[in-house]
Structure formats: structure tokens, C-alpha cells
Amino acid sequence: MQVTIEIHDELARQLEPERQHLADIIRRGLRHRSPGGLSIVEEVFDFLSRQPSPGEIIAFNPSEKSVQRLRDLLDKNRERSLTSDEEMELDTLQALNHLFALIKLQARQQLRAPA
């Protein structure tokens, strides 16, 4: 199965060197589904699959449950008590956060561009 997400050419050029890394992020992230709900990774991909407008992209925030999971991981990281799976999950979430920041930046640029 192949999933295609349409992004602006400039962002695609920036992401091209990370192509293999992004596939790894997705694979690892999907292994870390939150019991009883969507993980942040699933929330982001579900959101993007709906082809949101630039304004909707900028306004997007993960659910409180997902934010709490991230807080828990960050707390455990500060305490140096992460398991190897949790460390991988945190790495995945940090990479996803960086990727989504780039997507939001592109959306802001699209809104500022003259019509």
C-alpha cells in the first residue's frame, strides 16, 4: 500500500534527503499506539489524510491525551527512566514534531502569498 501526501514543492525538496528517515519514523511511530485511543502519529496522519487547508494546518493541535503521553515521556526522560521502546517513541515524536513544524511553516507561507 502506498500513501501519498501532497506538499508544496519547496518543502518536498527540503524533505527529500530525509525520505528514508521519514519512512522509519512512520514505521516506529505506528508501533507505539496508545491504548484506547490514537497516538500522536496516528492523529497527525489522520488529520493530514483529510487534506486540510493551510489555516486548518496552522490551527492543528494533538489531543490532550496525546499531549499528556508526550509529557509523561519527557518526565521519564528527565528522570532517566525511559525504556528502550519509550526512548524510541520519544525520538519518533520529536522527529514528527519537527516535520509538522515544517508543514505549518509552509502553510503560513502559503497564506501570506499574494493570491
Q: What pTM value is reported for the model?
A: 0.65
As for how many domains the chain has, the answer is 1
Residue keyed to cell 497527525: 44
2 in a domain, yes or no?
Answer: no
Say whether pLDDT at 53 is over 90: yes
Q: What residues make up the domain containing 88?
A: 9-112
The answer to whether 106 and 10 are in contact (CB under 8 A) is yes
What are the tens digits of pLDDT across the range 74-110? 999 999 999 988 898 899 889 999 999 999 999 999 9
In a domain, 85, yes or no: yes
* Phi, psi angle pair for 3, to nearest 5°: -115, 130
Instruction: Confirm whether 26 is domain-assigned.
Output: yes
Would you say residue 96 lies in a domain? yes
Read off the pLDDT band of 113 (50, 70, 90): confident
Q: Judge whether 101 lies within some domain.
A: yes
**With contact defined as beta carbons under 8 Å apart, do 66 and 43 qualify?**
yes
Distance, CA of 70 to CA of 10 (rounded, Å)? 30
* Residue 91 contacts residue 82 (beta carbons within 8 Å): no
Higher-pLDDT residue of 109 and 114 is: 109
In a domain, 1, yes or no: no
- For residue 4, being part of any structural domain is answered with no
